[in-house]
Amino acid sequence: MANYRNVDSTSILIDDGIAEELRKTIATKLLGNSPVPAHCCIFRVPDLIRRQKTAAYEPDIVSIGPFHQGCGEKFQLMETVKRWYLQCLLSSCLDISLDSLIKGIMELGRSARECYADPLDHLSQKDFVEMMILDGCFLLELFRKELWDDLQDENDPVFNLSCMLEYLYHDLLLLENQLPWFVLERLYNLTANNANQKTASLTELVLNFFRQAVTDERIFDPNLPFEILHILDLIRTVIVVPFKDLKSQKKEERVEEQEEQKNEPELPQRIPNATTLSEAGVQFRRSKNTPECIMNIEFNFKNGVFTIPPLGIDEKTGPLFRNLIAFEQCHHGRLHKITSYAVLMDNLIDTSKDVDLLREKKILANWLSPEDASQFFNELYNDTTVTGFYYRDLCNDVNEYYNTDWNKWREKLRRDYFSTPWAVISFIAAFILLVLTLVQTAYTIIHP
């Protein structure tokens, strides 16, 4: 049956049958729950971020979790190693069986699936539990073998082919290649009677393995104040937690203001690069605190000194920082601290001259070319946003110092007239000659 409806004096013919059919069709497509619940913590990297450097987000030799499972022959060797490692684990356990592992993970099955932001409809419960066990036990055995050399088998391709560990350092720190931390904990506790367990905790096993993957291992601090979500989150936590504790504040009167602004998107104020700042009198110094959180960057407005903890840069640093930033961009519960660090370092490093300056000050330990190192920072956080920029006050102080003309004049005077002992001597001689000339002129005027 058709009915007429008047809309703005225009008659519209409406077919009630079609309307009812549409209502049913749309109703069946409605969702009762959010497609990405708050408890999701493992994400696919958004295309806008991925396009900047695709290889930084994709595994080379091993798939962990469901996102890259069955994605080609390049993972076949490690899939075989996973099955071998599980057998090694079961053989070394005193009172653990495969049945115990299955039951333990099946209890976590639903919670574990809900950690992934993408629907996993292609995986049955059986396949998902099998994947969690194989991948989780592979990681535990890998970390144990890395910590204790006597557990390594001479026929193990992971340890007798040097390139394999380099690939694993990359693959296991990808956002898309994670297992929920509580799954690893469950497997770790279930295999606590493993003859190879010895005394290391799960956190110690993981951090020991990735100390080899990060150029400057001083970023690691085992003090973990809150729940860990997965391995990448653990690495981020040990980087940023010291920064949270030590970050300089503008006293208590600013706390309320920061609380109000921390969730507001903002465009961080840029500062001049390191070379330009140096020409304006800013001095760059390497932090003397050891160990030091790489994010504890300070600027002393009184004397114009930038104090920066050292950072090592090599081919592994880029993928690590990119995945940490992608994680911050995707997870609502992780503040943009690594992203803020990337923004500030991009400000300071524009060209190879800036890299050379910071290398000279022993702030950067760079295994890339100066050109590649400068490009690394320039592209690190493209297509991201920054909420609650953590170096806002520091940048304001730097710009105020830079825009003070006296600081630029003082630096020009120091550079032109006091940069070398001979320049100092020449300046003093010229000054004495000027004084004598003035005295002689004055004497001549007084006594013509």
On the question of pLDDT at 301 being above 80, the answer is yes
- The DSSP symbol for 304 reads T
**Does 225 fall in a domain?**
no
Specify the 3-state DSSP secondary structure of 245. Answer: helix
Same domain flag for 273 and 182: no
391 & 357 share domain: yes
Q: Give the range of the structural domain holding residue 426, as residue numbers without chain letter.
A: 418-446
Phi/psi of residue 285, nearest 5 degrees: -130, 145
312 shares its domain with 352: yes
pLDDT tens-digit series, residues 378-413: 888 888 888 889 999 999 999 988 887 544 555 555
For residue 10, which phi and psi values (nearest 5 degrees)?
-110, 130
Q: What is the pLDDT of residues 29-72, one digit of tens each?
A: 766 555 555 678 999 999 999 998 999 999 999 999 999 987 77
Q: Are residues 379 and 441 in the same domain?
A: no
Whether residue 83 is contained in a domain is answered as yes
In a domain, 235, yes or no: no
Residue 288 CB contacts under 8 Å (≥ 6 apart), including other chains: none
Co-location of 130 and 108 in the same domain:
yes
Kindly state whether residues 53 and 163 are assigned to the same domain.
yes
So what's the pLDDT on residue 248?
Answer: 44
pLDDT value, residue 218:
52
Task: Please state, in angstroms and rounded to a whole number, the distance separating the CA atoms of residues 132 and 126.
Answer: 10
DSSP calls for 189-231:
HHTTTBTT-TT--HHHHHHHHHHTTSS-GGG------S---SH
Confidence of residue 250 (pLDDT cuts 50, 70, 90): very low
Whether residues 196 and 284 share a domain: the answer is: no
Q: Please tell me the pTM assigned to this model.
A: 0.82
- Residue 200 maps to a domain: yes
How many domains does one find in the chain? Answer: 3
Residue 112 belongs to a domain: yes
Same domain, 61 and 203: yes
Q: What letter represents residue 84's amino acid?
A: W
Q: Indicate if 303 and 163 belong to the same structural domain.
A: no
pLDDT on residue 34: 59
In a domain, 383, yes or no: yes
401 shares a domain with 267? yes
Q: Is residue 34 part of a domain?
A: no
Q: Is residue 229 part of a domain?
A: no
User: In this structure, are 430 and 389 located in the same domain?
Assistant: no
Q: CB–CB of 201/189 below 8 Å?
A: no
Question: Are 104 and 202 in a shared domain?
Answer: yes
